[in-house]
Each structure stands twice: as C-alpha cells, then as structure tokens.
Structure 1
C-alpha cells in the first residue's frame, strides 16, 4: 500500500507546527465518511454495511492519523457488550 504524504508548515509565534496528511486506506475512508455524518458506528454496522471485520484496528489507525474518535461501551438488552464510536467535534 502506497501512502501519499502532504506536509504543511504553519508559522505561529515562537513555534511552528507541521501538519502531516496521509492518504487514508479505503476502509478508513469509509469509516471516516460514516462518522462525519454524525452517526455512531458499531462493529456490527461496520461489518454488515462496509464489510470491515476489524473496526478496532481501523479506528486505531484513524486516531494515529490525528482524528479524534470517542469510544463508548454499551450493553444491548440481550446482555452483549459492544463499543460505539463517534467523531468528536
């Protein structure tokens, strides 16, 4: 997998900040697009609608890329626990 990187340097006072943007994988882009609609994403939704089996890994990659994603543990009425992800902001 080839990643394209764009760098942008912003001058501000005594410090400069370098922002690195990497091209997202197709699965990560699907997850990000879904979260940007304001909906929460669960492993079941990711698997059934996006064919993404390891949402935890993809969320971790998005967090490393700088996206602020919240995780909340929930319990279904049948007793099964799961994680629900939302985009912060």
Structure 2
C-alpha cells in the first residue's frame, strides 16, 4: 500500500530487514547466547564471518549448506541500502 511506497521513495531502512550473506562459504552454527544464534560462514580460503541472529528470526539456511555473497539467510523486507 501507500506506506510501503513511501518507504521506498524515502529509502527508509526496514525495522527487521532481510539478513544477507556477507561472504561466500559454508554455513555452520556456533553456541547460542542471550537469545541469539551464532551463524558462522566459512569460506574455502580466508577468514570466517560470524553474526549473531535473534532466535525468533526464520532462517533459510541449514548446517553445512553453501551460500553465495548476497544470498538471503533470513527473511525480511530488503533494505534499499544493501
């Protein structure tokens, strides 16, 4: 509706934007802490990437799955800033 059109024109950041993979690699999960899941992306070469994601977020990835940079990890509206 109209509020969504306003969000797009004003390039507002959504409250809970989609979470995108920062690097290409393999998904694994670390220890959960303070209501958050530890998501780890390990590339074939180089440093791994780690992010804490709230437990209530619906993830689109599984342990051992390969992801590409920019792929959606958790659903949500896309941020015009990404």
Same fold at TM > 0.5: no
Select the structure with the greater relative contact order (CA < 8 A; seq sep ≥ 6): 2
- What's the TM-score once normalised by structure 2's chain length? 0.26
Q: Greater helix percent: which structure?
A: 1
Q: Which has the larger radius of gyration?
A: 1
